[in-house]
Amino acid sequence: MAYDVLFGVVLTFGAGMLAQWVAWRLRLPAIVLLFAMGLLFGPVLGWLHPSETLGHAFRPLVSMLVALIVFEGGMVLDIRQLREAGQGVARLTMVALPINWILGALAAHYVAHLEWGTSFLFGAIIVVTGPTVILPLLRSAKLHPRVAAFLRWEAIVNDPLGAILAAVVMQIMLLHVDLHKQLFFVHTLPDMLVAGAISVAAGILPAYLLRYLFTRDLMPELLKVPVMVTLALVIFEACTLAMEGAGLIAVTVFGMMLTNLHIPGLNELKRTKESLVVLMVSVLFILLTADLHRAVLARLSIPILLLTLVVLFVVRPLCIFLATLGTSISWQERIFVGWIAPRGIVAAAVAGAAGIKLSEAGYASADLVMPAVFCVIAVTMICHGFSLGPLARRLHLTLSNEPALVILGGNSWSIDLAACLNEEKVPVLVVDTTAQELMPAARRGVPVLKAELLSAAGQEALEERPADYLIATTGDAIYNGMVCGHMAPHMGRERVYQVSPGVARLDLYRGLSRDARGKVLGEPGWNYTFFDTLFSRGWRFVSATVTEATLDLFDREENRLDLLIVRRGTGIFIQSAEDRARTMPVVGDLVISMKAPEVRDPAADAKEEPELRAET
């Protein structure tokens, strides 16, 4: 028994992380790979039997992990994004949900021939578009902020609402409401309303308590994440005891309140939780998929497959169309949101528990709930996971399909670099805190952004632009390092660069900490003064496409500094002395170099310093 548990844990964690890495490397939806691994290790090979191995602890473990994932999802719900998204979010959460429920129930009854009670339960379960699926997909897609907000808010808000709706339907079916109407309306319904109000309060009050403790230095940094996680679990369990599904509402409100109270230092805690959530999502998907019995898969039939197709191509699109009538949502956004609706962990967990209870209560078609929901989950994850990016690009709802560079600092040579990239149609953005420094770039047609990247407003403004790499080029080495350190968790530590702060400051022990700065642009001696002096002497940035004839000239030609390699559709490789392996161009790459003037003015040379010295 102990060996089985250990083997299952190691296999699940290892396979989950392997799937995440392969998905990142190959730019595939990680959810699809996790789903496939769960099927392989469970029903196909029979290596994993989570519910049998863990026994009664399996369902509580799943519920706990789902609660933490929903809590982390609540922490990305910023009220400011809700205001920017406009009516769309309200329509998708308040109007679309009941329409989706009714249409889903009608489809289940008339297409799959389920009983009316079971049909309404199926309709309640499929209104949930799981944040465990949507959020990882949004992290890898460069959607316009408004469209991303639609999907994010719908998934996170509808998650607990759908669970509660399914719990209410199941409760009505178990009570046989036709015989106990008075019992339902006198006791059950008021209890549900009270439990809902308590769950909202249970999410709000602890958030204010944490803000009090955090802002008054009454909580050590080491305990902040453990306390938040523990408090979320306590809130979830307490509210779940009051009503099934209320715990999900409480933890969503708790996470949302923490974000909107703007507690200092919360961003660092969020990043820690995001890493934990990636691990939890990986484990959950493999466990839940592996726990599917072959008997469930055997009950898949033509009517269930037809029901899935109706849900995808009729129920969801029609629901979104009806819910968004009279709003400012464009037809492209309607098509996109009407198609993208993958179901995830909450739908699977609710279907598993509800199917068993209704089956025991004597409902003939209850055994078909889990196969029907499983089919919807599988098809939506695969279809929507692979089609989200291509469809968004087709409808022009993405920020950019090419790797994009942000240049911090509007000085003469950085603007010349940006203009060179812009002429080659490489997405580039120059950011500075003053409009005066940005005017020369704007005159040359380069996109600009007046913002402070260390502020919340600046970071939000940057999220609305394509941004994959950053080079900090201001004359203040400390400020460059602060911005690189601030942006590293979002872009990746290997994607933020700065001009050298000076050779002495790069000492790994006595110099600036690598965590407090970006990678060095070029060589250690190439500081701000170095580039500024070269520019004043007539050096300019030029671009050249690598051919077979010019391939061997890279980094060897005199009076030329090769700084960037742009590989279309793949990435931007910025040269740095700190790279373990130097990236070499291939035929077809675009190389950006700073090059000396071909014809020099002798009179100007006489006035210049005889030697260019970099700061040491």
pLDDT band at 443 (very low <50, low <70, confident <90, very high): very high
- How far apart CA 205 and CA 354 sit, in angstroms, is 31
143-180, pLDDT tens digit by residue?
877 888 788 778 777 776 777 777 777 767 766 545 44
Residue 406: predicted pLDDT: 94
Res 197 pLDDT > 90: no
Res 577 pLDDT > 60: yes
Residue 565: predicted pLDDT: 93
Report DSSP state, residue 55.
Answer: G
Instruction: At 488, list the tokens.
Output: 């590293």
287-323, pLDDT tens digit by residue?
878 877 766 666 778 888 999 999 999 999 999 898 8
Q: Which of the pair, 568 or 194, is modelled with greater confidence?
A: 568
Lowest mean pLDDT among 106-110, 121-125, 299-303: 299-303
What average pLDDT does the segment 564-573 reach?
89
Residue 139: predicted pLDDT: 66
Angle at 153 between CA 147 and CA 156, to 5 degrees: 140
Residue 50: predicted pLDDT: 83
Res 605 pLDDT > 50: no
Report DSSP state, residue 610.
Answer: S
Please list, residue by residue across 405-422, b when 16 or more beta carbons sit within 10 angstroms of its beta carbon and e when fewer do. Answer: bbbbbbbebbbbbbbbbb
504-559, pLDDT tens digit by residue?
888 777 888 888 899 999 999 999 999 999 999 999 999 999 988 888 877 777 88
Residue whose structure tokens are 């950011």:
431
What proportion of the chain, given as a percentage, has pLDDT over 70? 86
Tell which residue, 459, 401, 488, 464, has the closest CA to residue 148.
464
